Amino acid sequence: MSTPKFKNEPILDFSDKKNLSKIQKALEQVESKFGQEYPLIINGEKIHTDAKLKSINPSKKGQVVSVFQKATKELAEKAILEAIKVFNKWKNVPPKKRAKILFKAANIVRRRRFEINAWMISEVGKNYVEADADTAEAIDFLEFYGREILRYSKKQPLTKVKGEDNELVYIPLGAGVVIPPWNFPFAILVGMTSAAIVTGNTVVLKPSSDSPMMGWLFYEVMEEAGLPKGVLNFVPGSGSEVGDTLVSHPKTRFIAFTGSKEVGLHINQLAAQHQPGQFWIKRVIAEMGGKDSIIVDDEANLTDAVNGVVTSAFGFQGQKCSACSRAIVNEKVYDKFIDMLKEKVGQLKVGPAKENYPVGPVVSSNAYNSILSYIEIGKTEGRLIYGGNPCGDEGFYIEPTIIIDVEPNARISLEEIFGPVLAVLKAKDFNHALEIANNTEFGLTGSVYTTNKKKIKRAKEEFYVGNLYFNRKCTGALVGGHPFGGFNMSGTDSKAGGRDYLLLFMQAKLWSEKIN
Ligand code: NAD
């Protein structure tokens, strides 16, 4: 039977009472499991260490969600060596069989959807719809990459050479390391890991210390889907200690990383250093930070623009690499835009993720302190017109914050804050707006609100970002429809969820046979 065409998984509607009651029940069930301990897994072996890593509920910071093991350097090394051993078998498993495991995993995630959402709401503070969109994206990655490997395993077109029989095939790389961030704690982790596995590689997965539970859940899903032991190894631990060991190991063939610019550059540098006994140049896929702008032109529908800016800036508390952190507004509509913006943001209430507030907590005390210190910087660089304060000390809550009259070269205009803080900048005209939009070292997403087709054409040519949108928000890329990845310091433009992505986890081999 042929595989049905890929289509995106619809997101659940929580105004439907049935869905609402299911998520509330799942939250209660998950809460009854808070504080439980989970092992790390190397080649199927469950291992406990002396040092532990606790994941915390950011909505209620005294609450320990789960307890994990903290891998040592020795265990990290063991994980890579075991992954190599298993690679030698896994690489021979036919692509069809590998794809089948991903399709099965997608169905298991569908079955466990409310539970996965509930863990995510508890562990990183997403509201219901943000959590469900994350889980739906994970399902999309499994379905999409399963189909993609089937495409890559078909006969590849080559120019006919007389007297020869030629063929090109894609083969896996080896044992690699997957290092995801906490902000799309399921989708990105599942996407990077499943791409690596379905192409025939084995993986050591080091989850983010802020969201290890999401990595554990994926491990369980893949085990149930029939993934042989040792193909996926689950190794939580300190980024600097375990991460560095995994990245620099001579047997590590590739590193798939998504996270900050600083860590991405560090990994890239470390991976480039040749180690004794290393046979290859390590491949690094590094998707990094963003400082994303929305241009609001004078020829724009301002209501749409305000809605797009607010959703992009404050959805999941601005903790998306694609979040709008700068609104660049034409001076002719600047004052009106700000009045409308303030009114709209005033409707956003802050509170616990479990109660589904539009704005929940930020993920950790580190994030909380860093964002608050950027707000202090922002107060000296522009005019704070909304928010700016922490709220309540039960969790890491910060008001949605708007700072206007920010100069293009101000720190809050150039540096990634990764929180609910929006800088508003005034542009003289469209040229000026484009010039400001391109003035950071990042190049991930951007959006332009205008009804002028000529300006859209210009932005297509000149707005230098990997994902550019028109008259819509700059967040919410869909697998298949909006392959995702950025330019410059936003990373290697891997275009996750696109047709080029699996190539990054494979190498092409050509054979040519003389025939008479
Ligand atoms: P981070 O860089 O702090 O951490 C990312 C991962 O790297 C975590 O798993 C962490 O434990 C690990 N790590 C830390 N130090 C390490 C080391 N020395 N060696 C190996 N691994 C190490 O980022 P974060 O706070 O988890 O995520 C937020 C960042 O991710 C933001 O900058 C955001 O823009 C970016 N992001 C980018 C994309 C994208 O597609 N471009 C998507 C999501 C998030």
23 vs 354: CA distance, rounded Å: 9
Is CATH 3.40.309.10 the classification given to domain 292-478? yes
C-beta 208 within 6 A of ligand 1: yes
**For residue 259, which atom of ligand 1 is closest to its CA?**
30
CA angle at 261 for the pair 206 and 185, rounded to the nearest 5°: 40
Q: Which of 183, 190, 441, 490 should be mutated for ligand 1, with most atoms under 8 A from CB?
A: 183
C-beta 263 within 6 A of ligand 1: yes
What angle in degrees, to the nearest 10, is found between the helix axes of 430-437 and 453-462? 30
What are the sequence ranges of the domains in the chain? 19-288+494-511, 292-478
Residue 1 confidence (pLDDT) above 80: no
**Which SS3 state, helix, strand or coil, does residue 470 take?**
strand
> CA distances (Å), 305 to each of 287, 340, 342, 433, in order?
28, 10, 13, 15
Q: How far does residue 78's CA lie from ligand 1's centre (Å)?
A: 24
CA nearest ligand 1 atom 28, residue:
259
Q: How far does residue 342's CA lie from ligand 1's centre (Å)?
A: 32
Task: Give percent of the chain with pLDDT exceeding 90.
Answer: 98
C-beta 319 within 6 A of ligand 1: no
Q: Work out the pLDDT band at 139, boundaries 50, 70, 90.
A: very high
C-beta 289 within 6 A of ligand 1: yes
C-beta 492 within 6 A of ligand 1: no
Which superfamily does CATH assign the domain made up of 19-288+494-511 to?
Answer: Aldehyde Dehydrogenase; Chain A, domain 1 (3.40.605.10)
Average pLDDT, the chain: 98
Q: Work out the pLDDT band at 241, boundaries 50, 70, 90.
A: confident
Q: Work out the pLDDT band at 240, boundaries 50, 70, 90.
A: confident
Residue pointed to by tokens 């903790």: 319
12 contacts: CB under 8 Å, gap ≥ 6: 19, 113, 128, 129, 132, 136
CA nearest ligand 1 atom 12, residue:
239
* Structure token pair of residue 113: 């959807």
Q: How far does residue 189's CA lie from ligand 1's centre (Å)?
A: 11
347 vs 339: CA distance, rounded Å: 13
Report, as residue numbers or ranges, the catalytic residues. Answer: 287, 321
CA nearest ligand 1 atom 8, residue:
208
Residue 257 confidence (pLDDT) above 90: yes
C-beta 419 within 6 A of ligand 1: no
Could you read off the pLDDT of 259-309 as tens digits, one per residue? 999 999 999 999 999 999 999 999 999 999 999 999 999 999 999 999 999
Could you read off the pLDDT of 41-53 as tens digits, one per residue? 999 999 999 999 9
pLDDT at 516: 78
- Give the DSSP letter string of 354-414: GGT-SB---S-HHHHHHHHHHHHHHHHHSEEEE--SB--SSS--B--EEEES--TTSHHHH
Could you read off the pLDDT of 265-279 as tens digits, one per residue? 999 999 999 999 999
Q: Which of 55, 216, 263 should be mutated for ligand 1, with most atoms under 8 A from CB?
A: 263
Pairing verdict, β 324-330 and 421-427: parallel
**For residue 287, which atom of ligand 1 is closest to its CA?**
41
356-378 burial code (b ≥16 CB/10 A, e <16): bbbbbbbbbeebbeebbebbeeb
